[in-house]
Amino acid sequence: MSILPIAAAAAEIDTGDTAWMLVATALVLMMTPALGLFYAGLVRSKNTLNTFMMCIGAIAVAGVVWALIGYSLAFDGTGSLIGGLGYVGLNDVTFIPREGTTIPHLLFMAFQATFCIITAALVSGAVVERMRFGPFLIFVALWSVLVYSVLAHWSFGGGWLAAGGTLDFAGGIPVEMGSGFSALAAALVVGARKDYGRQALLPHNALYVLLGAGLLWFGWFGFNGGSGFSTGDPSVLAFVNTLLTPACTLLVWFLLDLIRGRKVTAIGAATAIIVGCVLITPAGGFISPGWAMVLGAVGALPCYAMIVWRPRTRVDETLDVLAAHGIAGFTGILFIGLFASLAWNGIADGLFFGNASQLGDQALAALVTPVYAFVMTYALLRVMGLFTSLRASQHDEAVGMDVVQHGEEAYPSGEGAILVLPDADGEALVADPR
Amino acid sequence: MKLVIGIVRPEKANDVLEALYRAEVRGVSMSRVQGHGGELDRVETYRGTTVKVGLEDKTRFEIAVSDEFVQPAIDALCDGARTGEVGDGKIFVIPLERAVRIRTGESDQAAVTPVAK
């Protein structure tokens, strides 16, 4: 989110900006079910619903926690490390715009809520197919306060990174690096799936993966295009870059797939869409369209390498949140320091345009954010593990989380299912087959 | 020559395959079946509809073996499929009258012996 020039002391609401931000907020909220679809396709069929439900659960829990306390800690005041309690329970969050914006404060809060929600949902990718649903929801509640709100304050809410000059247009720090490095910690604490490294654990529906990626890309236009909080130039630049960068990432991913396996893969393409969108997230409103295309092409390389290398390790970071979000966000944040252009963003130049100190500001965030996200998430899950079992038993994991956690199947045949009718006493009664 | 039929939990099917492989029993058919063996019914709820799942998914192995491989096949099925809970499945052993390898026309003992290559 750019550090917007404060034009007038009492900003007025702009109807065009407000209309766009209403749409952008809805677009970003849609990204969380889209992520559910993307993730659900990548797991085995017996865990389809549980995987999707982790994303739906994040909407429920992170949405409520954000309104109650998270928003206040992230966006109240300009404390260096953490915000204040002035907006707890949405106190004082009204139609009057926040300083520097031209949209209702309430709408600003809702837009930011959708960011917190999808970030929490992203972390689930590290622990699918084995983490129990209840502890996951508790984790989301605590994580969205302890990790997301803090990082959002540092980068968006006037905390020390933003005050020090670090640029992050749409969330390379709290969303992408925050989720990616937290995912690594979560995978380490929860542990690998019991069959990991012993059996081939394959995606069960590549179409869901492609459809989910497509919907995520669609929503990302709201995510990046809305992060200027207006219909002004930075928003337009970020919006267009959200088209160009992933397209370049796709092309390079095709080439890498060809070199590695002589075939262009569909799930690889879906992954490339996500990686490209993540790459441009921090840099969207700061770099020229030409450099955005370079970012998409160059940024594909470390992420592709990570995705190829990670499954050879013992770390079952199941859906590669670290590679697709952590590494891509890291790359995007650093890229700002190299190629940000005052002519395009009106704020700052990067190293290649003669401003070396910007790279220093970006590198600081790229070092501190992963450490904070990893350490806090690791500690949080370790403490939670003292009070409850984070993962399902081996037996439950073998049967599948859909039946065990939710009592449903994604693909019920209905064969052999006997209808149960309650009788007058509320006792279960098996229906007479005649 | 016998036909060994094992009906096991689908989530243990991979363990059974591993055990059969280790016992050097080659030549296996596997199919998905539904059945009921006296275990407790699982209850599922879809909106207002509650159902008891009377037929559980099972995996059925069919293994045609020469006599000296009958016991190893049975042992492998038991080792791979046992959890100790009701619903682990059953093994049936049936005498096999004739077997023909389609490619070569070999019959009986030669037909159920894996190709050495």
Distance CA A208, CA A192 (A): 24
Confidence (pLDDT) at A413: 80
**pLDDT band for position A428 (cuts 50, 70, 90):** low
pLDDT at B32 over 90: yes
Q: In chain A, which residues have their Cβ closer than 8 Å to the Cβ of B51? A: 417-420
**Coil, strand or helix at A135:** helix
Angle of the A206-225 helix axis to the A15-42 helix axis, nearest 10:
160
Take residue B14 and report the two structure tokens written for it: 């991979």
pLDDT digits 0-9 by tens, A92-106: 999 999 989 999 999
**C-alpha separations of B35 from A227, A371, A417, B21 in Å:** 55, 52, 12, 26
Is A15 in CB contact (< 8 Å) with chain B?
A: no
Is B47 in CB contact (< 8 Å) with chain A?
A: no
Confidence (pLDDT) at B113: 77
β-pair type (B29-35, B56-65): antiparallel
pLDDT at A237 over 80: yes
Inspect the interface and report whether the beta carbons of B56 and A416 lie closer than 8 Å. yes
Inspect the interface and report whether the beta carbons of A195 and B52 lie closer than 8 Å. no
Inspect the interface and report whether the beta carbons of A416 and B41 lie closer than 8 Å. no
How close does chain A come to B20, measured CA to CA in Å?
15
Distance CA A102, CA A94 (A): 13
Taken in order A324, A330, A333, A337, the sign of the CA dihedral is negative
pLDDT at B114 over 80: no
What is the pTM for the complete model shown? 0.89
Distance CA A273, CA A279 (A): 10
Cβ contact B91:B74 at 8 Å = yes
pLDDT at A50 over 80: yes
Of A403, A409, A430, the CB nearest to B52: A430
Confidence (pLDDT) at A319: 97
Smallest CA–CA distance from B56 into chain A, residue: A416
Name the average pLDDT for chain A. Answer: 94
Nearest residue to A403 via CA among B49, B53, B48, B47: B53
The count of residues in chain A is: 434
Inspect the interface and report whether the beta carbons of A408 and B55 lie closer than 8 Å. no
Q: How many CA atoms lie within 13 A of A408 on its CB side?
A: 14
Confidence (pLDDT) at B36: 83
pLDDT at A8 over 80: no
Confidence (pLDDT) at A9: 47
pLDDT digits 0-9 by tens, A266-318: 999 999 999 999 999 999 999 999 999 999 999 999 999 999 999 999 999 99
Inspect the interface and report whether the beta carbons of B50 and A399 lie closer than 8 Å. no
Interface of A with B in 350-409 (CB under 8 A): 395, 398-400, 403, 407-409
How close does chain B come to A257, measured CA to CA in Å?
30
Of B12, B36, B45, the CB nearest to A407: B45
Confidence (pLDDT) at B47: 74
pLDDT digits 0-9 by tens, A147-168: 999 999 999 999 999 999 999 9
DSSP letter for each residue of chain B? -EEEEEEE-GGGHHHHHHHHHHTT----EEEEEEE--SPPPEEEEETTEEEEE-SEEEEEEEEEE-GGGHHHHHHHHHHHH--SSTT-EEEEEEE----B-TTT--BTHHHHSPP--
Distance CA B111, CA B2 (A): 12
Q: Does the model's ipTM exceed the 0.85 cut?
A: no
Take residue A126 and report the two structure tokens written for it: 């590290």
Nearest residue to A179 via CA among A359, A392, A373, A388: A373
Cβ contact A108:A99 at 8 Å = no
Confidence (pLDDT) at B116: 59
Q: What percent of chain A has pLDDT over 70?
A: 95
Is A418 in CB contact (< 8 Å) with chain B?
A: yes
pLDDT digits 0-9 by tens, A351-400: 999 999 999 999 999 999 999 999 999 999 999 999 999 999 998 999 99
Distance CA A155, CA A152 (A): 5
pLDDT at A432 over 90: no
pLDDT at A11 over 80: no
Q: In chain A, which residues have their Cβ closer than 8 Å to the Cβ of B50? A: 419-420, 428
Cβ contact A326:A177 at 8 Å = yes
Is A10 in CB contact (< 8 Å) with chain B?
A: no
How close does chain B come to A400, measured CA to CA in Å?
8
Confidence (pLDDT) at A7: 44
* Best residue in B40, B46, B56, B58 for a mutation probing chain A (most A CBs within 10 Å): B46
Confidence (pLDDT) at B92: 96
Inspect the interface and report whether the beta carbons of A407 and B83 lie closer than 8 Å. no
Is B44 in CB contact (< 8 Å) with chain A?
A: yes
The count of residues in chain B is: 117
pLDDT at A181 over 90: yes
- Give the containing element (helix H, strand E) for A154: helix A150-155
pLDDT at A226 over 90: yes
pLDDT at A3 over 80: no
Inspect the interface and report whether the beta carbons of A420 and B44 lie closer than 8 Å. no
Maximum Cα–Cα distance across chain B = 58
Is B75 in CB contact (< 8 Å) with chain A?
A: no
Smallest CA–CA distance from A405 into chain B, residue: B44
Distance CA A313, CA A385 (A): 24
Is A197 in CB contact (< 8 Å) with chain B?
A: no
pLDDT at A4 over 80: no
pLDDT at A6 over 50: no
Indicate the range of A130-139, A222-231, A327-336, B105-114 predicted with least confidence: B105-114
**C-alpha separations of A1 from A71, A83, A400 in Å:** 15, 17, 41
How close does chain B come to A271, measured CA to CA in Å?
29
Smallest CA–CA distance from B50 into chain A, residue: A420
Confidence (pLDDT) at A283: 97
pLDDT digits 0-9 by tens, B56-113: 889 999 999 999 899 999 999 999 999 988 889 999 999 999 999 999 988 888 888 7
**C-alpha separations of B8 from A410, B4, B21, B42 in Å:** 22, 13, 16, 17
pLDDT digits 0-9 by tens, A182-214: 999 999 999 999 999 888 899 999 999 999 999
Of A403, A415, A420, the CB nearest to B52: A420
